[in-house]
Structure 1
Amino acid sequence: MPLEGATAAQAAICRPEFTVDKEPYGAGTAFVVNGPRPLLVTAHHLFGEMGGLDEEIRWNEMPARATAAHCAQIKGKGAWTTGPALAIAGAHPVSATSTAEFKDIAVFPLVGQPAGSPGLVLAEKAPATGSKVWLVAQIRGGNPDVLLHRATVVEYEQGAMLYAFDDKRIELQATSGAPIVDAEGRLVGINLAGTTGENPNDVLGVADSLDVVRKTLSDLRG
């Protein structure tokens, strides 16, 4: 069973509705990161065809086109609102054919104080291969009350962290942008996609690694 910290992390996730080109639409999952400047964090690829839009919004277009987000807490009654997205230099959608380092991150500054949860904090170091981590998300089509999905870190490559889920029947619907946390509930990655391993029965998750997330948020706050 997950420890208390991972359980507490459930309060930080929310189901977002973004305003893009003055039109609202919902996609994926988002979460709050605590700090001097509280932030709403999700996956950049949600702002393109993978998120249901007609075209990809490039990172330098995000502040002008993704002008707000409203995010309702999945476990709780709180909600967060944001200002326009921040420009993250070089952010791009995850792609199986790209050799570029993973940097599939979108960030919005919260307006006012976070309600319902102080948000997540980053882990001091990335989990080692073989460590247990948890995807914190509500999976569409699954049990809506089950928000913690345990996995084992398999490897790191190109700024990505890969992890194999205990539940080999898991379907990762609507989990793009959800946090990956350690047993203490500290952020270690941002879930982006699912794939299979050498064993076709294994379900692997792919995330922006802690190093990528830390550098991205540090650059924004610097």
Structure 2
Amino acid sequence: MTPPSLPRGAIVRPEFDTAEGRISAGTAFFAAIPGQAGPLGLTAHHLFGTAGGLEREVSATELGQLVRAVYFSGIDAGEEGLQRAGSMVVLPSAGHSQEAGDWSTDVAAFRAPASFSPRALRLAPRNAAPGEDVWLVAEVLGGTSAGQHLHRARVVHSKPMLLAYQFEDTTLELRATSGAPVVNARGEVVGLQVSGGPDGDVLWGNAHPVESLRAHLMRGLSAAE
């Protein structure tokens, strides 16, 4: 199957200047949100804790005060240097996962300028189905297809709290891909990558499913109005 065509500049490496130290970890992407002047940057909430180098796990309601500035750098060739984004969007219902296998709260968001709208990915209207082909869009640190940004996988489990898939290239090094989008054949986001790794001969990926992502975003944006 031909990989989907995606807008240039949608995927970035985020940096967060916080009152408790600098977080430079994982991946982020821009997403188009109906009714918003500009896109939102989305990433994994679990980066705001020990996974991102902090000494404690930060709650979602703290992010607006804790994060003083958001920066990002592109992964596409020719995009160099840090650029500044907008403020964090507080998502009160999001946060760190409380139960193994349930990734349905793991998302954080920040505002981006309206000029970044051409970079934004669309959110799929519904979760991906088992057997569906999907692609992790990320810069990986190693593997046979390390020079590519689209990594094909097939959905095995699709639940309200978890989207799980098996990668075609089992040699991928998935470190630093938390927060990257998982897209379908139409280039729509069906999940936000939160974890992954080998299990025997299989390389798994796990994502926060899009229907849950959308619900957290809508609740947070409504509360901010």
Q: Same fold (TM over 0.5)?
A: yes
Q: CA deviation at 1:65?
A: 0.3
1:141 Cα deviation from its structure 2 partner: 3.5
CA contact (8 A) 1:81 1:111 kept: no
Report the CA distance shift for 1:85/1:196 in structure 2 as closer, same or farther (over 3 A). Answer: same
State the Cα deviation string for residues 139-163 of structure 1 (Å, max 9, x = none): 1245653111100000123511001
Q: Which moved more, 1:167-176 or 1:73-82?
A: 73-82
How far is 1:53 from its partner? 1.3
Contact in 2 for aligned 1:135/1:151 (Cα 8 Å): yes
* Partner residue, 1:90: 93
| Structure-2 change in CA distance of 1:206 and 1:10 (3 Å) | farther
SS in 1 for 2:119: coil
Matched, 1:51 2:78: no
The aligned counterpart of 1:26 is 24
Report the alpha carbon displacement of residue 100 of structure 1 after superposing the two structures with TM.
Answer: 5.6
Which string of whole-angstrom CA distances, capped at 9 and with x for unpartnered residues, describes residues 90-137 of structure 1? 322246x4476621000011145217x431011122221000000000
- The worse-fitting range, judged by mean Cα deviation, of 99-108 and 74-83 is 74-83
The alpha carbon displacement at 1:89 in A equals 1.6
Aligned AA (2:177): T
Could you tell me whether the CA contact under 8 Å between 1:19 and 1:66 is conserved in 2?
yes
**TM-score under structure 1 length normalisation:** 0.87
Q: Say yes or no: does 1:75 pair with 2:73.
A: no
Aligned pairs for 1:85-164 (under 5 A) are: 85-94=88-97, 97-98=99-100, 102-114=104-116, 117-142=118-143, 145-164=147-166
Q: Which residue of 2 aligns with 1:183?
A: 185
Aligned-CA RMSD value: 2.3
Look up the SS of the partner of 1:8 in the other structure: coil
Deviation at 1:84, TM superposition (A): 2.7
Separation of aligned partners in 2, 1:90 and 1:220: 8
Q: Percent identity?
A: 33
Contact conserved, 1:102 with 1:208, CA < 8 A, in 2?
Answer: yes
* Structure 1 unaligned blocks of 5 or more: none
Partner AA of 1:82 in structure 2: A
- Pair 1:100–1:132, CA change in 2 (3 A): closer
- Tell me how far 1:181 sits from its aligned partner: 0.3
- In 2 relative to 1, CA 170–141 (structure 1 residues): closer, same or farther, beyond 3 Å? closer
**Contact 2:146–2:172 (8 Å) recurs in 1:** no
- The two structures have a TM-score, normalised by structure 2, of 0.86
Q: Deviations over 1:10-69 (max 9, x none)?
A: 631001111111743310000001232411100000010011111111111100002221
Tell me the matched-pair count: 216
CA contact (8 A) 1:7 1:148 kept: no
Aligned amino acid, residue 64 of structure 2? P
CA distance in 2, matches of 1:208, 1:69: 22
